[in-house]
Amino acid sequence: MKKTLFFMACCLLTALASSAQIPALERVEPMFWWVGMHNPDLQLIVHGDHIASRKVELNYPGVKLVAVHKVENPNYLFIDLRIFSGTVPGTFPIKFIKAGEKPLTYSYALKARDHSAGRAQGVTNKDLIYLIMPDRFSNGDPANDSFTNLREQGIHRDSMFSRHGGDLQGVMNHLDYLKDLGVTAIWLTPEIENDEPRASYHGYAVTDYYKVDPRYGTNELYKKFVEKCHSMGLKVVKDLVHNHAGTEGYTILDMPMKSWVHQWPKYTRSNFKYEAVMDPHGSAADRKLMLDGWFDHRMADMNQNNLYVQKFLTQNHIWWIEYAGVDGLRLDTYPYNDPEYMAKWAVDVKNEFPHLSIFGEVLTPSVVTQAYFTQGNTVNRGLDTHLPGITDGAVKEAIYEALNGKDGWDNGVTHLYDVLAQDFLYQDVSRNVVFLDNHDMSRMLSMVDEDITKYKSAMAMMMTLRGVPQMYYGDEILMKNYSNPDGLVREDFPGGWSGDKANKFTADGRTDKENDAFNYVRKLANYRKNTAVLQTGKMMQYLPQKGIYVYFRYDDKKTVMVVYNGDDKEQTTKTDRYSERIKAAKTAKNVITGETVDLSKLTVPAKSTLILELIGS
């Protein structure tokens, strides 16, 4: 079946599709734009039946028609406009004229930018991100569960590969729950249309870049979602996919040109090796396979060396930020993209939204590999990527080693120390996202063998180390499973659907064990939210001794001491070794229990973590 599907895709890639069923003027994108943008230039992509046979006319003060580009496929025009400073918002017709026929007209709107406070404000180390797969969180509107004009029909909650019916309204219905938990930012896996025939729920095979998937809601509802989050003091992270597109999108089914995507004689998958991009001794063939190979049969690899593709992607992302006012961007599969384009993209986006935050998905246990993709050319790459931060997979793996490994010269908790000691490689490590799991990997509870003590230690480290902490939906209620396959870690949040046997959004619906975990996370998250030193304070760590690892977060006003016992038995340790940071403090408050602790000697149970706010330091 896959070979057949790919053969069909190849036909589309090598012979542009028939336009028999395409309307005379199918679409113009971006559908509208704004005056007062930093970049005055705009390129419209126009799709319609032999639209290239028509002449383009427009007349609006402050708008200049710079050029009209015809490409290989006559069903496309690319129109370059310049919108001068001082242009007044308004609407004007764009006419597509052909002798002997009635002109086709598109009414184009230029809008005023929204400079309201709190839009595109950035997600920083002051925040706690909560990652949600909308299809698996809550079904707030059963009326949008299925549409007859989409390829995948119905919801089937008994199948891990099918749609389950979660949507934007479902997330909006539970914002109070997230606010109470201590969350300050919400990251949704892509809510954009994925009109694929199978497993379309994950969102990473976009088929319409300018449209929220109708099974999640509408563009207008997404904007309301962001506005409601902002009204509650919550931020929003939008998930973007530069590298690939779903094969059922109009630009793939009827490509503007053969070079719109990376072409191969036969289906060729990426080698998925970051090192092929990094290696100074590497072959051009390996680098090309990494960057240009396809991610999957149904994920066409975008050719970012194509200037039309570049403008199409960049403008779409700017459009969504300005339209909805999102605060940050997560960039999927970052290392697979063209490096020069991504550097330019970051500059273009930041020019329009200076406070917006951006972090790229870089999944590796190597600090050097992560740093290679971050901004500043800190590892002598020869290119400044302008990427502020990454998903810190090296710290994630090091936390698990600290929890599960046996302490030694470079393993166990010492490995975590070693990883953090390499933070000098980053221009600003506070922008890295510290996480324990996500939708592509085994859940944290399973990774620590369902040991609640280790679970709490993992949460403690995630929320007290430098960087931006990010948790995955359901971790706070002890959702578990291994990513084999990944659908097992994408189960529905219990209580998100009418008729669910249990409602884990409420204390009454949770077991005692789940409430214990939930209350621990809530206590810690809210303490972090109200404690500046855990957000922006400096960090000092000490070499582990006999499995005891100690680090501090501190500023001029407050010091928090974190003590982790990586040993399999309870340990008591004297604290005189840490006098440089403890200073004159004799006691501390246990952040979780509220108890006052004598700092001269600390007793820490096996695999446990103490979070201590120093008194009188």
Q: List pLDDT tens digits, range 257-289.
A: 999 999 999 999 999 999 999 999 999 999 999
Q: Are 171 and 162 in contact (CB under 8 A)?
A: no
**Residue ranges of the chain assigned to CATH 2.60.40.10:** 2-111
Structure token digits, residue 557: 């006003």
Angle at 277 between CA 271 and CA 282, to 5 degrees: 90
- Distance in angstroms (rounded) separating the CA atoms of residues 216 and 614: 47
Whole-angstrom Cα Rg for the chain: 26
Give yes or no for residue 127 having a pLDDT over 90.
yes
Cis peptide before 30 (omega within 30 of 0): yes
Cα–Cα dist 325/335, whole Å: 26
d(CA 182, CA 513): 20
Inform me whether the pLDDT recorded for 3 exceeds 90: no
The three-state DSSP-derived secondary structure of 568-617 is CCCEEEECHHHHHHHCCCCEEEECCCCCEEECCEEEECCCCEEEEEEECC
- Look up tokens 């090296």; give the residue: 394
Residues 55 and 357: their CA atoms lie apart, in Å, by: 41
Question: Where along the chain do the CATH 2.60.40.1180 domains lie?
Answer: 540-615
Span 225-248, mean pLDDT? 98
Number of Cβ within a 10 Å radius of residue 318: 23
Q: What number of other Cβ atoms are within 10 A of residue 570's Cβ?
A: 12
Q: What is the mean pLDDT of residues 510-525?
A: 98
Alpha carbon distance 207, 392 (integer Å): 29
Phi, psi (5° rounding) for residue 454? -65, -40
The answer to whether the beta carbons of residues 230 and 325 sit under 8 Å apart is: yes
pLDDT score, position 20: 54
State in words which class domain 2-111 has.
mainly beta
Name the active-site residue from 29, 191, 254, 332: 332
Contact 433, 450 (CB under 8 A): no
Please write down the HEC assignment for all residues of 28-93. Answer: EECCEEECCCCCCEEEEEEECCCHHHCEEEECECCEEEEEEEECCCCCEEEEEEEECCCCCCEEEE
Determine the 3-state secondary structure of 380 from DSSP.
Answer: coil
Q: Which residues in the chain are classed under CATH 3.20.20.80?
A: 129-531
Q: Is the pLDDT of residue 17 over 70?
A: no
Q: Is 80 a catalytic residue?
A: no
Give me the CATH code for the 540-615 domain, please: 2.60.40.1180
pLDDT band of residue 188 (cuts 50, 70, 90) is: very high
Is 375 within 8 Å of 388 (Cβ atoms)?
Answer: yes
Looking at domain 129-531, its CATH class is alpha beta
* 474 pLDDT more than 70: yes
Q: Tell me the torsion sign for CA atoms 349, 355, 360, 365.
A: positive
Selected catalytic residue, list 127, 338, 361, 567: 361
Distances (CA, A) of 137 to 79, 130, 159, 219: 41, 12, 15, 19
The mean pLDDT value for 402-410 works out to 91
Quickly state the pLDDT bin for 421 (edges 50, 70, 90): very high
**Facing residues of 97 across strands?**
55
Would you call 332 a catalytic residue per the annotation? yes
Mean per-residue pLDDT for 362-377? Answer: 97
Using CA atoms of 250, 252, 257, 260 in order, give the dihedral in degrees to the nearest 10.
120
Whether the pTM exceeds 0.85: the reply is yes
User: What percentage of the chain exceeds 70 in pLDDT?
Assistant: 97
Q: Which residues pair with 246 in a beta bridge?
A: 299
Task: For residue 200, give the DSSP letter.
Answer: G
Q: For residue 404, what pLDDT is reported?
A: 97
Cα separation, 382 vs 22, whole angstroms: 46
The region that residue 474 occupies, defined by phi over 0 for left and psi between -120 and 50 for alpha, beta otherwise, is: left
pLDDT digits (tens, 9 = 90+) for 578-601: 999 999 999 999 999 999 999 999
How far is the C-alpha of 520 from the C-alpha of 426, rounded, in Å?
32
Residues 6+ positions from 40 with CB-CB distance below 8 Å: 82, 83, 84, 85
170: enclosing H helix or E strand: helix 168-172
Is there a contact between 521 and 181 (Cβ–Cβ < 8 Å)? yes
- Judged against a pLDDT cut of 60, whether residue 206 lies above it is answered with yes
Q: What beta strand segments (E) does 125-184 contain?
A: 129-132
Two tokens at 293?
């190979």
Task: Check: CB of residue 107 under 8 Å from CB of residue 164.
Answer: no
Ordered alpha helix ranges (H), 475-529? 512-529
484-501 b/e with 16+ CB inside 10 Å = b?
eebbebbbbbbbbbeebe
